[in-house]
Every structure is written in C-alpha cells, then in structure tokens.
C-alpha cells in the first residue's frame, strides 16, 4: 500500500495497525477542522481497525502475531451464535444481482457498529433481529 492511499488496515501476524499518510484528508482529517473532530474521526478509524484483532479471523492470532487461537470453545460458540443474525442479514443483500456472503464478510460487518454507521445499522439490525425473534446482545469475550 502506498503512503498516499486513503485506507487503514490491521495485520494479525504482526499485530499491528497501519495508517498510510493518505488517510489524513477529508472526511477523516482536515487542518480546518476543530482538533476534537480530527481526533475523533481518526479514533474511529483506529478503533475499527483494532477490533479486527478480536473478530472471526483476528482471534486466530495471539498477542505476538503467531497463529495460535486463544479463545476457548465456549467463547467461539457464543460468538458464532451471536453473529448468526448478522450473517443472515448480510447474506440477504445483493450487489449487481450477486448475493453477498455474510459469513465471508463477517470480519467487517460485525464491527460496522462504528460511529459512521451506528444509528442506521443498529436500528436496522435490532428491528431485523426482533422480527426474526432473536435477541441481540453485546458480545462478551
């Protein structure tokens, strides 16, 4: 990834978050924005990337970045049960006539609760889960 790329990512085998300089532009950053807005926006990006250390793929790596699953079986089962609603929801969407694979995109959809999407996605998700007679609770690890 080049320094001018507007992106960020988490690398589990290095246990690191990378922020190329290109992300320091609107809508994430601007010198004319108040400090709090710049810090808050970058904090959202950092928080989002950090959560990947605890998602369905990040949980496979330990704190040193070694492939060594550290969740016990009961925690894995609770995670899978609690994310099934999200997998079903996203699997019902299509893009250009092609269905999404909710399981394949779980690493990002589970953590779509960041501040950019929290209102609309949470409202939709709670309504969806209620209609499916499912209970959504914040995951405990």
Chain segment 47-58, per-residue pLDDT in tens: 888 888 888 888
Q: Please state, in angstroms and rounded to a whole number, the distance separating the CA atoms of residues 19 and 46.
A: 9
Considering the domain boundaries, does residue 67 fall inside one? no
Contact 1, 7 (CB under 8 A): yes
The answer to whether residue 29 sits within a structural domain is yes
Q: What is the pLDDT of residues 82-140, one digit of tens each?
A: 788 888 888 888 888 888 888 888 877 766 544 444 444 544 555 555 555 544 444 44
What span, in angstroms and rounded, lies between the C-alpha atoms of 5 and 72? 37
Distance CA 89, CA 78 (A): 18
Look up residue 95 and give its two tokens: 């893009």
Domain count, the chain: 2
Q: Are residues 55 and 24 in the same domain?
A: yes
For residue 111, count CB atoms less than 10 angstroms from its CB and return exposed for 0-12, middle for 13-18, buried for 19 or more.
middle
User: The dihedral of CA 20, 2, 10, 126: what is its sign?
Assistant: positive
Q: What is the domain range of residue 125?
A: 73-131
Domain assignment present for residue 17? The answer is: yes
Enter the tokens of residue 5: 């790329």
Q: Model-level pTM?
A: 0.66
For residue 139, give the nearest of 80, 58, 68, 73 by alpha carbon.
80
Beta-carbon count within 10 A of 3 CB:
8
């Amino acid at each position: 990834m080049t320094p001018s790329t507007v992106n960020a990512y988490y690398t589990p085998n290095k246990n690191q978050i990378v922020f190329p300089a290109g992300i320091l532009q609107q809508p994430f950053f601007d010198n004319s924005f108040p400090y709090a807005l710049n810090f808050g926006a970058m904090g959202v990006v950092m928080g989002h990337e950090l959560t990947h250390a605890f998602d369905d793929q990040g949980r496979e790596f330990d704190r040193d970045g070694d492939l060594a699953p550290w969740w016990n079986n009961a925690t894995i089962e609770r995670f899978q049960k609690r994310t099934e609603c999200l997998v079903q929801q996203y699997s019902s969407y299509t893009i250009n006539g092609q269905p999404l694979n909710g399981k394949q995109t779980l690493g990002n959809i589970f953590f779509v609760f960041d501040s950019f999407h929290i209102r609309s996605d949470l409202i939709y998700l709670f309504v969806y889960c209620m209609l499916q007679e499912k209970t959504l609770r914040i995951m405990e690890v």
